Amino acid sequence: MSKPEKPIIHVNAACACGATEMSINGPCVSMFMCSCLDCQRATGTGHSTIALVPAGALGLAGKAKAFDRPSDSGATFTRHFCPDCGTPLYGQSSRAPDIRMIPVGFFAGQNDWYAPNQLIFSRSQQVWDLVADHLPRHVTYRVGSGS
C-alpha cells in the first residue's frame, strides 16, 4: 500500500482582528493532532490540529508576537500569535528550525485538505475529547519521528 500524497497548499487568511495575515504556498510535510497539555491550554480545547509546512512556504503580513517555552523533548518551542487579538498563528521548535507548525483552524473554510494521520501525546487526552478512533495514538512523540 502506498502512502497518500501530501497536499500542496495555497491558502490565505487573517487573524480575528484582521491585523495579521498568514498564507501557505507549498507542500504540507505532515498532518496530526496533539493532546499535550500545552496544546490544550493554547487552543482552549482537548487537542490541536497541526499541519507542518516548510518555513519558506509560510507568508506573514502584519505583526506577530512570540512566546518561548521548554518542551518535553528538551527543545525550545515558540508560539507566534497576533499581539492585538491573540489569534494563534504558528509554532516552531528549535529542533526543526526550517519547519512551521500551523494551526489548521486558522484557515477555517479553506482547510478541506487536512487529513490527520495520528494523535500524539495521547497520555494527556481528555476522555471528553472525542478524537477519531481510527487514528493511531502515541503516548508522547511518535517513535522515530525525532519531533
CA distance 43 to 124: 14
CA distance 76 to 71: 6
Residue 26: the pLDDT is 96
Residue 1: the pLDDT is 41
Q: Which three cell numbers stand for residue 68?
A: 518561548
Using 50 as the pLDDT threshold, list the residues of the chain that sit under it.
1-2, 145-147
Q: Under 8 Å CB-to-CB from 70, ≥6 apart: which residues?
A: 76, 77
Residue of 118, 81, 83, 124 lying closest to 102 (CA atoms): 81
Residue 3: the pLDDT is 56
Residue identified by cell 518555513 is: 55
Q: Please state the domain extents for the chain.
A: 15-138
What is the architecture, at CATH level 2, of domain 15-138?
Alpha-Beta Complex (3.90)
Note whether 111 and 11 are within 8 A (CB). yes
Q: Which three cell numbers stand for residue 93?
A: 521548535
Note whether 20 and 63 are within 8 A (CB). yes
Residue 61: the pLDDT is 97
CA distance 124 to 58: 30
